[in-house]
């Protein structure tokens, strides 16, 4: 209907992709060099940090990270091997509950602070107006994407 369809949307998408892959590469590189870790592991630690003492089941973690259960299996195995998370058994023996260990929690705090600093550096060239505008428009883009995905689901489901 409006101008987003076609070439203009494609150009927009390529720009967004260029930005986000550049940031992801750099953040991934620093996580590896400074902490011997990775972005997916950082993301799981972050989800567990937010979850607090109760932790998350494997499935809940997968949902928050928007990845498959099998993916979380591998990440959790590595983080457990590093002593940063622990598994808790509940009454339902199907579910593994994941929780940060004390070292894991303090380790994540250091990584998160560094991470926030890196992002600040990478976007330091933007002014207040840019941040404001981008934030709002990206929110609209997110809604556009979500609505496009939802429409399709409805069609398929019908």
Q: Segment near a second copy (CB under 8 A), from 56-64, 77-85, 96-104, 120-128?
A: 120-128
Distance in angstroms (rounded) separating the CA atoms of residues 85 and 41: 11
Residues 55-94 that bind DNA (CB under 7 A): 57-60, 62, 66-76, 78, 91-94
User: Judged by CB under 8 A, does residue 2 bind a second copy?
Assistant: yes
Scan residues 133-152 and list those touching a second copy (CB under 8 A).
Answer: 133-135, 137-149
Confirm or reject binding of residue 127 to a second copy (CB under 8 A).
yes
Quick one: 3 or 70, whose CB is closer to DNA?
70
What binding mask, one character per residue, do residues 6-45 give for a second copy by CB under 8 A, x or -? Answer: xxxxxxxx-xxxxxxxxxxxx-------------------
Nearer to a second copy, 16 or 95 (CB): 16
Q: What values do phi and psi take at 87, rounded to 5?
A: -105, 135
Residues that bind a second copy (CB under 8 A): 1-13, 15-26, 66, 116, 119-128, 130-135, 137-149
């Amino acid at each position: 209907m409006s101008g987003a369809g076609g070439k203009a949307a494609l150009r927009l998408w390529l720009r967004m992709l260029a930005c986000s892959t550049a940031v992801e590469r750099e953040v991934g590189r620093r996580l590896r060099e400074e902490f011997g870790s990775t972005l997916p592991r950082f993301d799981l630690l972050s989800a567990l940090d937010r979850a607090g003492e109760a932790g998350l089941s494997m499935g809940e973690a997968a949902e928050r990270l928007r990845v498959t259960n099998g993916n979380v299996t591998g990440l959790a195995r590595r983080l457990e091997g590093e002593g940063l998370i622990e598994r808790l058994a509940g009454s339902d023996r199907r579910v593994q509950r994941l929780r940060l260990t004390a070292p894991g929690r303090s380790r994540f705090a250091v990584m998160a602070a560094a991470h926030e600093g890196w992002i600040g550096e990478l976007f330091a060239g933007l002014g207040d107006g840019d941040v404001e505008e981008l934030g709002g428009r990206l929110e609209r883009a997110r809604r556009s994407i979500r609505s496009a995905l939802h429409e399709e689901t409805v069609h398929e489901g019908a």
